Structure 1
């Protein structure tokens, strides 16, 4: 199956309110162009240098999503163009994004990453850290970031009820802040669990192998 066919097939499966981010990390520019020609505009990368070099080569109406763990000292490289940073897992990182956004006269969209998995290897805030990041006193100092919503990654397991429990936990947190903070994006679900994520309330899915094939 071609990349274009996979994109079109996924678009028929996804509800209208769910946004598809094509996870293009490690894939060559030619693969991204094939997806672009098929109408895809949202691409997700997990390494900043790779995303910068692709941004330089590819059409400028692409919306670039940083989906990997972000080191604060790398934010400046993507600040001129990144559309949405998914993995904002600390207040320190949020402040650095705000600083670099201001230098570029931009407001950068961010998702706060919440730790929902049982594995210790997954990054993210707990409920208390999330409440702090969304507090009026913190947000009032961050005029160059826009918190669009939340992101989370479920435990890597075949246990569907556990994954559903973790997604539901995140959805309930999202609902808690949705109206008070104008949140509109809940990013959860990847190639292996996006259907369950959508059923649980996801509005954005990150899909790589189902589009570009296995790495």
Structure 2
């Protein structure tokens, strides 16, 4: 199992090598042994969907692992991951951003966040639309949140075999990213720094990298189907 995990990781890293794109291993439902094998293969970025699972696993694994919260996050769960989470990918409201700031302050930390955009043609995905993004970024309270840093955007494409549609959705996220990055360049918001685009999963990570993703979230292509 361990050698297989290592081989799969190496294969994906070779594919991503031409792009400036980081591999995040999606470790939800995976065993501690599988996570240890992932770490041994050189991956430090682990993505979890469920807060409880991340909190259970984190103390059992090496301290230099960077934990990414990639699933929908409820405000009442923020306090459990605030002491150690490396990056929260799924911020979809100003209310959640305020809660992250509050818990980060308690832990004497600044927590990097991505704003989750709704780019899919499906009803099941969370995220902000373009207008909601603008409203959040123009909220006068934003600059007072000293313990968060918005570092980019995250999005999930539609679950479809239609590559052209997925590509269009990725391009729309990249365009929004470039737009806000340009718009906000001259503005002095100390807690906003446009660096990351998190898009692409096991089925479409290579396409995402080609379309400008800086981090892909891959699970089944590393570990096999659940």
Q: TM-score, normalization: structure 2?
A: 0.92
Which portions of structure 1, spanning 4 or more consecutive aligned residues, are displaced by more than 4 angstroms?
none
Which residue number corresponds to residue 12 of structure 1? Answer: 14
Residues 149 and 193 of structure 2 are in contact (CA less than 8 Å); yes or no, is this contact kept in structure 1?
no
The offset of 1:132, in angstroms, is 1.9
Which residue number corresponds to residue 144 of structure 1? Answer: 147
Structure 1: runs of 5 or more not aligned: none
Q: How many residues align?
A: 215
The offset of 1:25, in angstroms, is 0.3
Alignment partner for residue 201 of structure 1, among 194, 207, 212?
Answer: 212
Alignment partner for residue 130 of structure 1, among 90, 109, 133?
Answer: 133
User: What SS does the corresponding residue of 1:2 show, helix, strand or coil?
Assistant: helix
Residues 132 and 138 of structure 1 are in contact (CA less than 8 Å); yes or no, is this contact kept in structure 2?
no
Distance 1:33 1:135 in 2: 42
The offset of 1:118, in angstroms, is 1.0
Distance 1:55 1:192 in 2: 27
Distance 1:182 1:88 in 2: 15
Alignment partner for residue 78 of structure 2, among 75, 80, 98?
Answer: 75
**Coordinate RMSD, CA, aligned:** 1.2
The offset of 1:182, in angstroms, is 2.8
User: What SS does the corresponding residue of 2:25 show, helix, strand or coil?
Assistant: strand
Alignment partner for residue 117 of structure 1, among 99, 112, 120?
Answer: 120
Distance 2:221 2:202 in 1: 6
Distance 1:152 1:116 in 2: 6
Query: For each residue in 1:69-110, what CA deviation from the matched residue of structure 2 results, as whole angstroms up to 9, or x when unmatched?
Result: 001100000000000001101111111101110110000010
Q: TM-score, normalization: structure 1?
A: 0.97
Distance 2:179 2:71 in 1: 25
User: What SS does the corresponding residue of 1:140 show, helix, strand or coil?
Assistant: helix
Which residue number corresponds to residue 27 of structure 2? Answer: 24
Query: For each residue in 1:33-80, what CA deviation from the matched residue of structure 2 results, as whole angstroms up to 9, or x when unmatched?
Result: 001011110000001011011111100000000010001100000000
Distance 1:127 1:4 in 2: 39
Does residue 223 of structure 2 align to residue 212 of structure 1? yes
Which residue number corresponds to residue 190 of structure 1? Answer: 201
Distance 1:130 1:184 in 2: 16
The offset of 1:136, in angstroms, is 6.3
